[in-house]
Structure 1
Amino acid sequence: MHQLRTRGTGNGAGPLDGIPRQRAPRCAGVRPAAPAGRAPGRRWRPERLLPTPGGTPFTFGYALVLLATSLYAEYGDPATVTSLLHASSTDVDNLSRTPLLVLVASALWVAGGLFSPYAIGFVFVLTALERRIGAWRTAGVFLLGHVVATLATEIPVGLAVLAGHLPDTSLHRLDYGISFGLLASVGALAGLLSPVPRALVLAWVSVMLLQDLLAFEDPLTNWGHPLALLVGVACGPLLRRRTVRRG
Structure 2
Amino acid sequence: MHQRTDRAVREEPFAAPLLDAVPRQPGPAAPPPSPPPHSGARRWLRLLPTPTGTPFTSGYLLVLVGTSLFMEFADPATVAAVLRESSTDVAHLRETPLLVLTASALWAVGGLGSPVVFVLALVLTALERRIGGWRTAAVFVLGHVVATLATEIPVAISVVVGHLPESSLHRLDYGISFGLMASVGALTGLFTPLLRTLVLGGLGVMLASDLVELSNPLTDWGHPLALLLGVACWPLLGRAGAVRGEVIRGAVPSRRAPRDTRPPARARGPR
TM-score range, shorter chain: 0.7 to 0.9
Task: Flag structure 2 segments of 5+ consecutive residues without an equivalent.
Answer: 1-15, 246-271
- Which of 103, 106, 109 is the equivalent residue of 1:105? 103
Q: 2:131 touches 2:244 (CA, 8 Å); kept in 1? A: no
For 1:144 and 1:111, the matched residues in 2 are separated by: 20
**1:10–1:52 distance in 2 versus 1, CA, 3 Å:** closer
Alpha-carbon distance in structure 1 between the residues aligned to 2:146 and 2:33: 47
1:173 matched to which residue of 2?
171
Counterpart residue identity of residue 81, structure 1: V
The correspondence for 2:65, drawn from 67, 70, 75, is 67
Distance 1:135 1:32 in 2: 39
2: CA distance, partners of 1:75 / 1:246: 42
Letter in 1 for 2:83: L
How many angstroms apart in 2 are the aligned matches of 1:10 and 1:184? 71
Partner deviation per Cα, 1:103-153 (whole Å, 9 max, x = no partner): 000000001221213211111111111111111010000000000100000
Specify the alignment match of 2:221 in structure 1.
223
Check 1:104–1:45 CA distance in 2 against 1; reply closer, same or farther (3 A cut).
same
Query: 2:130 is matched by which residue type in structure 1?
Result: R
Q: Distance in 1 between matches of 2:229 and 2:199?
A: 15
Aligned pair 1:125/2:129, yes or no? no
> How many percent of aligned residue pairs carry the same amino acid?
60
Cα distance between partner residues in 1 of 2:197 and 2:165: 41
SS in 1 for 2:112: coil
Q: Which amino acid aligns with 1:203?
A: G
- Amino acid of the residue matched to residue 133 of structure 2? A
168-177 vs 66-75, which deviates more? 66-75
The 1-side partners of 2:209 and 2:57 are apart by: 29
The CA deviation at 1:245 is 2.4
Letter in 2 for 1:125: V
Report matched runs for 1:126-145 at 5 Å: 126-145=124-143
**Cα displacement string for residues 130-178 of structure 1 (whole angstroms, at most 9, x for unaligned residues):** 1111110100000000001000000000011111111000000110000
Moved more, 229-238 or 41-50: 41-50
What residue in structure 2 maps to residue 3 of structure 1?
Answer: none
How far is the alpha carbon of 1:23 from its aligned partner?
Answer: 4.5
Q: Which has the larger radius of gyration?
A: 2
TM-score by length of 1: 0.85
Which of 21, 30, 39 is the matching residue for 2:25? 21
Moved more, 113-122 or 167-176: 113-122
Instruction: Please report how far the alpha carbon of residue 220 of structure 1 lies from its aligned counterpart in structure 2 after TM superposition.
Output: 0.9
1:84 deviation in Å? 0.5
- Flag structure 1 segments of 5+ consecutive residues without an equivalent: 1-8, 25-30
What is the SS of the residue equivalent to 1:114?
helix
Q: Give the partner amino acid of 2:172.
A: L
Q: CA RMSD in A?
A: 2.6
Q: Distance in 2 between matches of 1:34 and 1:42?
A: 13
Deviation at 1:55, TM superposition (A): 0.8
How far is the alpha carbon of 1:33 from its aligned partner? 5.9
Cα distance in 2 between the residues matched to 1:90 and 1:32: 62
Task: Tell me what 2:242 maps to.
Answer: 244
Name 2:200's counterpart in structure 1: 202
State the AA in 1 paired with 2:197: A
Distance 1:150 1:143 in 2: 10
